[in-house]
Amino acid sequence: MKTFQKVMVYVEGKGLKKRSILFDDKIKKIVKGKGVSKYAEKIELPKGAIVLPGFIDQHIHGAGGSDGMDGTLEDVATIAKTIASEGTTSFLVTTMTQSPENITKALSAVKEYREKNSSLGAKVVGVHLEGPFIAAAFKGAQPLEYVAVPDVKVFEEYNKASGDSIRIVTLAPEVAGAEELIRYLAKKGIVASIGHTGAKYPNVEKAVELGAKNVTHTFNAQSALHHREIGTVGSALYLDELNCELIADTIHVSVPAMKLLTKVKGADKVTLITDAMRAKGLPDGESELGGQKVFVKDGEARLEDGTLAGSVLKMNVAVKNMVEKVGIPFTQAVDYATINPARMLKIDKQTGSIKKGKNADFTVINKDFDVLMTIRDGEIIYKA
């Protein structure tokens, strides 16, 4: 048993409060004062430390020199351990548009990794299948030759390879076959996410009717808002049913655009993602994404033709940007990285907030948003 004693804690439903927490792998008690077991191991924190729920990244490709598409247990483990340093305790290994063989290899590695139930680093809670069911004209940094038509049978094969762990599927709803796949995913409780798409409002409206719930990296690689056709961006802003992913690095999306999104969408309909690639956590220089050269400089990752190719964003920095640059209240910005993705992934009964009975998943930061400690299932997985 472990304890934090008389520290600032973001308690579910109460906000920031000075509290003591008793926990093992689950949260046992949250009390005022020091009313927890005197036999518990006390975890000392510096003055000014704030205990938050562990961050959840539902869209991340890689970090620390590894990518989920590398398709090995070692690479999944590297990502898990690297992102623990930014306060992330749960994540979805995110694939990309590639050959069926490479996608299957990556999914099989996730299946095997999850079966091992590794306690190192952040927990892999499943897969975000980003592509190959996208629109060629909005492929972004995804290889054109592997873009495929949405197909339920193909998806079933991928999901089987993953051990039935695919939680989100990014697709273009205007492409033939997409409506059938969205309907199927909704029935299975898997999130259909609108992305890499030229969809117009009627396409998005229909997708929502069929069960689509999420928009992949809102504003990026999708049809823009126009006054005679509001496109995917306008539809994402307008339709209350849609949750909006956001890469809050101020590179992929400008600060005014982030302000617009958060002004229009409900506080429970924005989810921070990093969409990070293997170069995250490494020095600037040449990297790789899906067999394509990527050049990283000053926090920007681009293909040779200048196309943005994922990010090197850290989740604690995303939260910081939302507070300091966008002007979002602190606890609301934290929600964007914790309870909102937890609800989307249907793991909110286990994690995503600090409440008795939930997993002991914590991120400890200071006033500058630096991560001091990350705890997953009651065990320290990172300490600065």
275 is catalytic: yes
| Residues 291/293/297/300 CA torsion (nearest 10 deg) | -50
216 vs 168: CA distance, rounded Å = 10
157 vs 159: CA distance, rounded Å = 5
CA distances from 130 to 211, 221, 368 (A): 18, 12, 33
- Residue 59 DSSP symbol: E
Calculate Rg over the CA atoms of the chain: 20
Per-residue b or e along 343-366, where b marks 16 or more CB atoms closer than 10 Å to that residue's CB: bbbebbebbbbbbeebbbbbbbbe
| Residues 380/31/368/341 CA torsion (nearest 10 deg) | 70
Closest CA to 65 of 283, 310, 314, 251: 283
Per-residue b or e along 111-138, where b marks 16 or more CB atoms closer than 10 Å to that residue's CB: bebbeeebeebbbbbbbbbbbbbbbeeb
Catalytic residue among 67, 70, 75, 275: 275
Whether residue 213 contacts residue 244, with contact meaning beta carbons closer than 8 Å, is answered with: no
β-pairing, 66-67 vs 62-63, is antiparallel
- Residue 85 DSSP symbol: G
State in Å, rounded, how far the first CA of the chain is from the last one. 22
> Which positions are annotated as active-site residues?
275
